[in-house]
Amino acid sequence: MRLATAASEAYTTPLAVSELLGCKQCAAGRDQDEELGIRIPRPLGQGPSRFIPEKEILQVGSEDAQMHALFADSFAALGRLDNITLVMVFHPQYLESFLKTQHYLLQMDGPLPLHYRHYIGIMAAARHQCSYLVNLHVNDFLHVGGDPKWLNGLENAPQKLQNLGELNKVLAHRPWLITKEHIEGLLKAEEHSWSLAELVHAVVLLTHYHSLASFTFGCGISPEIHCDGGHTFRPPSVSNYCICDITNGNHSVDEMQVNSAENVSVSDSFFEVEALMEKMRQLQECRDEEEASQEEMASRFEIEKRESMFVFSSDDEEVTPARDVSRHFEDTSYGYKDFSRHGMHVPTFRVQDYCWEDHGYSLVNRLYPDVGQLIDEKFHIAYNLTYNTMAMHKDVDTSMLRRAIWNYIHCMFGIRYDDYDYGEINQLLDRSFKVYIKTVVCTPEKVTKRMYDSFWRQFKHSEKVHVNLLLIEARMQAELLYALRAITRYMT
């Protein structure tokens, strides 16, 4: 049945996608329908992402066999080809694993009923006011037979889901505060209690959607055409340019400014890349010679941790209006607080004592079979993905840079690798990049196009998307580690 609907939609949706993508042709292509007197919504966005120019993104129809297979899979599973998929397809290898995992989490065998899964997704995305994901999953939630009343707010959902609200909140913003008492509270709530398997499923869903919200904001994913903000019924413009240009007028001006800014600083940013590569080379070579003392190594982590707290964007403009989303909040005041600024003394989380490969995996796979394997693969692909390129350079070993990004994110969450020299982070990641990382990971709703444009100016968009993949996977792993450690402690 499901297959049949997917197949039938497969014929209609490419149309929608091409509409989305090809808004320049829309004036021409519409005439026929207009004659029939049907009101046709017009897409507002310019392609799947607000940050990435449409022409950079793969056009549906011009994909290669592998990507095509992925698109087909995405259809078969969801009955749509969403903007996230269209942006992620820059990295087909990752996308495949991502879709497989998401499909398994939402639709395959698992301890939670289907509507619960989507509702948990909504809860998680709402924590970051990500209306894009909320809208998508509201549709799915209703589609699988969820009670529309629940959507009026968490207090209308069953007590069991309400209990999850606290964990959702802590996990999204300050995962290091999760204790085994949180877990105990959920598991021992008499008739509203969660089973361990259900809880692990819920935790995986929560972390998945928290980090996906990061991706949505980090790459500026545009709303889908059928969702609020994705279309308009305003009549086509009288002048000869497309409606989209009017409604998003300021947007395109922005882009022009940025473009001109880029032109000015081309030579500047060219040197940026060169400098970065030079630093990597240096670090590679002199690592063996110059040996930092133990104390210094230890303090470097602390420094990096402390510094990460000063890294913050100055511009607080453009906060996404959270009309329909806000109802899922109980406590909007609860947001990210810096790990290091936090008054209470929270001991550093040491990866050598609790890591995903040894401990987290075993726990997840025990309680929610097969998912551990899927997530493990996803982490691996995200961490090891490389094309050995940097901007215009080829054959570069980027492992050091990737590791620095990964560890920097974990550092923001207070997770420390004993065998890492945190001095490297300072050398490799410049301030604007750190601002971007920090915003995407901790307060994704505040990401702006300016932030996206101002880091790594010479790098390709696909590389920036690659960075985003690293960010969301590192974030997901960090949240999972804290949650799973608490569960482990509860179990022992």
Partner 1 sequence: MEKMSRVTTALGGSVLTGRTMHCHLDAPANAISVCRDAAQVVVAGRSIFKIYAIEEEQFVEKLNLRVGRKPSLNLSCADVVWHQMDENLLATAATNGVVVTWNLGRPSRNKQDQLFTEHKRTVNKVCFHPTEAHVLLSGSQDGFMKCFDLRRKDSVSTFSGQSESVRDVQFSIRDYFTFASTFENGNVQLWDIRRPDRCERMFTAHNGPVFCCDWHPEDRGWLATGGRDKMVKVWDMTTHRAKEMHCVQTIASVARVKWRPECRHHLATCSMMVDHNIYVWDVRRPFVPAAMFEEHRDVTTGIAWRHPHDPSFLLSGSKDSSLCQHLFRDASQPVERANPEGLCYGLFGDLAFAAKESLVAAESGRKPYTGDRRHPIFFKRKLDPAEPFAGLASSALSVFETEPGGSAMRWFVDTAERYALAGRPLAELCDHNAKVARELGRNQVAQTWTMLRTIYCSPGLLPTANLSHSVGKGGSCGLQLMNSFNLKDMAPGLGSETRLDRSKGDARSDTVLLDSSATLITNEDNEETEGSDVPADYLLGDVEGEDDELYLLDPEHTHPEEPECVLPQEAFPLRHEIVDTPPGPEHLQDKADSPHVSGSEADVASLAPMDSSFSLLSVSHALYDSRLPPDFFSVLVRDMLHFYAEQGDVQMAVSVLIVLGERVRKDIDEQTQEHWYTSYIDLLQRFRLWNVSNEVVKLSTSRAVSCLNQASTTLHVNCSHCKRPMSSRGWVCDRCHRCASMCAVCHHVVKGLFVWCQGCSHGGHLQHIMKWLEGSSHCPAGCGHLCEYS
Where on the chain is the footprint of partner 1 (CB under 8 A)?
Answer: 3-4, 7, 69, 72-73, 76, 108-109, 287, 291, 294-295, 297-298, 350, 352-353, 357-359, 361-363, 366, 373, 376, 418-419, 488, 491-492
In whole angstroms, the minimum distance from the beta carbon of 490 to partner 1 comes to 12
Residue 319 burial (C-beta neighbours within 10 Å; 0-12, 13-18, 19+): exposed
CB of 7 to partner 1, least distance (A): 5
Do the Cβ atoms of 84 and 358 come closer than 8 Å?
no
> Residue 283 Cβ, how far from partner 1 at the closest point, in Å?
11
CB of 404 to partner 1, least distance (A): 14
Q: Which helix (H) or strand (E) holds 479?
A: helix 461-491
Looking at beta carbons, which pairs linking 286-293 to residues 24 or more positions away fall under 8 Å? 292/421, 292/423
Residue 438 tokens, joined: 């920090």
Known catalytic residue: 130?
A: yes
From 130, 242, 244, 411, the catalytic residue = 130
CA torsion sign for 26, 32, 34, 39 is negative
**Burial class of residue 16 (count of CB atoms within 10 Å of its CB; 0-12, 13-18, 19+):** middle
* Least spacing, CB of residue 292 vs partner 1, in Å: 11
Quote the CA–CA distance of 153 and 1 in Å, as a whole number: 32
Tokens of 26: 């829309």
Query: Of the two residues 379 and 433, which places its CB atom closer to partner 1 in the complex?
Result: 379
Q: Which C-beta is closer to partner 1: that of 14 or that of 22?
A: 14
In the block, residue with structure tokens 């394997």:
373
Nearer to partner 1, 3 or 344 (CB): 3
CA-to-CA distance for 5 and 18, rounded, in angstroms?
Answer: 20
- Do the Cβ atoms of 481 and 356 come closer than 8 Å? yes
Q: Which is nearer to partner 1, 21 or 480 (CB)?
A: 480
8 Å CB contact between 388 and 395: yes
Which residue lies nearer to partner 1 by CB, 121 or 360?
360
Nearer to partner 1, 41 or 369 (CB): 369
Euclidean distance between CA atoms 402 and 12, whole angstroms: 40
Vertex 117 angle, CA 116 and 118, to 5°: 95
Q: How far is the CB of 434 from partner 1 (least distance, A)?
A: 24
Catalytic residues: 130
